[in-house]
Amino acid sequence: MPKIVTPEWVKDAVFYQIFPDRFAKSDMVLKPHNLEPWDAPPTSQGYKGGDLYGVIDHLDHIQDLGATAIYFTPIFQSACNHRYHTHDYYQVDPLLGGNKAFYALRDAMQKRGMKLVLDGVFNHASRGNFFFNDILENGPSSAWLDWFIVHDWPLTPYSGERPANYEAWVGNRALPKWNTDNPQVREYIMQIAEHWLREGIDGWRLDVPFCITSAGFWNEFRTRVKAINPEAYIVGEVWWDSTNYLQGDQFDAVMNYIFTEPVIQFCGQDHLVRELAVTGLSYDPYPAIDAQHFAVKLEKALFKYDWQVAQVQLNLLDSHDTARVLSVVGEDKASMRLATIILMTVPGAPSIYYGDEIGLAGKHDPDCRRTINWDNRESWDKEALAYHKQLISLRKSHPALRRGVYKRVAANGLTFAFSRVLDDDKLIIAVNAGDKAQKVELPVNDLVEDGTTLKAIYGKGSVKAEGGIVTVTVPARDGIILAAK
């Protein structure tokens, strides 16, 4: 078994996830006329016209927030607003500004010391992809016939009256599946991954990688990616136990939905909206759980994998595939704050879905893909923005919050506490999901000596260790972070 090595920069990173069509638009890109109004509710097929120059215009916002890396959902040429239907993996979508906009964005981010991760949709293409389109045009005579998996003729790429007669992702005829058992297809995909790494990206987020089952595919992908950039980040979209992918020979990390589930269950309590929490996806942040149950589920997520992996897991509260966490918790702002405290203080790389930092709500897709209103910042939740900045700043200023050892300190009722320690940087994080303030005694005999003062760096006050105990009052529906002095 190979030694597990993960990118060092990810251990210190704070990610910001952007859905490009909905984040921001600029005047730098020629826009077609049939765009939806920016402030209208999003639809499944409509375009808003966000572009990469719009991202450049708002890098100050992202950097002021404290994010150090951006993960973009797909940016390549496609005939859908989310761009998971790839036409051309070598061309950035013209509505996003094309390749010229990508290079401008890359350069702007590099000047700021920010990392850029792209979405790799390598399991399937689209009906508009050149190679599949050739099959549609030429049938059994197509030169690219064995690049996909055709069962019979005629193909029916649009009509639902007859079988599609080719393999497609979850039966969606718009998304023909690549034949990754074909060495030519495999090489084609590997070269795409290598190309964009050479063009300056810092990693790949892999869409539905579990759907590619060709022997050794992801092993070769890792070998070739790391040969170009040993510090490139490879993170898979796997919603469940990912042990088989995280042995040092395939991915560095996965999108950590087994972290998401218990955090929302614990923080949301009776504010959870069942129809948004129980989604039919592979995680169910419902029903509410107490602190003991939360501790067990959280620690299963944290310690399921090697420590090198745990430090780079992409921890998230929501994404473009889920209802926004603010909506899942019934737009209860305290629940959102609690969840963010945990997100920013446990091991792993925290990821903020664009707009969460300003209180953007959103139910199931496509509602979870709303636009940010840059022209009316008075509509933003300024308190949410402030605590996001504060917690990210604390994470940056305390190495223990990024790389320190985690240990549970207490879990009783609805109060949960843990420590993070790295050398002399020693912190205790306590959160209270209940509706009343709780006075708790926390054992710290293995953390600090008696007489040591611990000062609140989030929250108020200070406490002194006596008899191996500190007594802390944790505010209702909030938390406190203590640092040993």
The CATH number given to whatever domain includes residue 21 is 3.20.20.80
Active site residue 237: yes
Q: Of 237, 318, 357, 381, which one is the catalytic site residue? A: 237
Q: How many domains does the chain have?
A: 2
pLDDT at 160: 86
Question: Average pLDDT in the 431-446 region?
Answer: 96
Residues of the chain with pLDDT > 90: what percent?
97
Q: Are residues 372 and 414 in the same domain?
A: no
Work out the average pLDDT over 89-97: 98
Given the residues 207, 252, 290, 332, select the one marked as catalytic: 207
For residue 216, give its domain range. Answer: 8-123+180-397
pTM of the model: 0.97
Q: What is the three-state SS of the chain?
A: CCCCCCCHHHHCCCEEEECHHHHCCCCCCCCCCCCCCCCCCCCCCCCCCCCHHHHHHCHHHHHHHCCCEEEECCCEEECCCCCCCEEEEEEECHHHCHHHHHHHHHHHHHHCCCEEEEEECCCECCCCCHHHHHHHHHHHHCCCHHHECECCCCCCCCCCCCCCCECEHHHCCCCEEECCCCHHHHHHHHHHHHHHHHCCCCEEEECCHHHCCCCCHHHHHHHHHHHHCCCCEEEECCCCCCHHHCCCCCCCEEECHHHHHHHHHHHHHHHCCHHHHCCCCCCCCCCCCCHHHHHHHHHHHHHCCCHHHHCCCEEECCCCCCCCHHHHCCCCHHHHHHHHHHHHHCCCEEEEECCHHHCCCCCCCCHHHCCCCCCCHHHCCHHHHHHHHHHHHHHHHCHHHHHCEEEEEEEECCEEEEEEEECCEEEEEEEECCCCCEEEEEECCCCCCCCCEEEEEECCCEEECECCEEEEEECCCEEEEEEEC
Burial environment of residue 424 by CB neighbours within 10 A (0 to 12, 13 to 18, 19 or more) = exposed
The pLDDT value given to residue 88: 98
* 334 and 256 belong to one structural domain: yes
| Interval 237-294: pLDDT, tens | 999 999 999 999 999 999 999 999 999 999 999 999 999 987 777 888 999 999 999 9
Considering the domain architecture, whether residues 269 and 346 belong to the same structural domain is answered as yes
Same domain, 416 and 459: yes
Among 397, 424, 442, which residue terminates a domain?
A: 397
pLDDT at 143: 98
pLDDT in tens, 349-404: 999 999 999 999 999 999 999 999 999 999 999 999 999 999 999 999 999 999 99
Residue 228 has pLDDT above 90, yes or no: yes
Average pLDDT over residues 167-174: 96
* Final residue before a domain boundary, out of 337, 364, 397: 397
Range 46-62 average pLDDT: 98
Mean per-residue pLDDT over the chain, rounded: 97
pLDDT band at 172 (very low <50, low <70, confident <90, very high): very high
**Residue 187 annotated as catalytic:** no
pLDDT at 84 over 90: yes
Mean local confidence (pLDDT), 453-462: 96
Residues 236 and 378 in one domain: yes
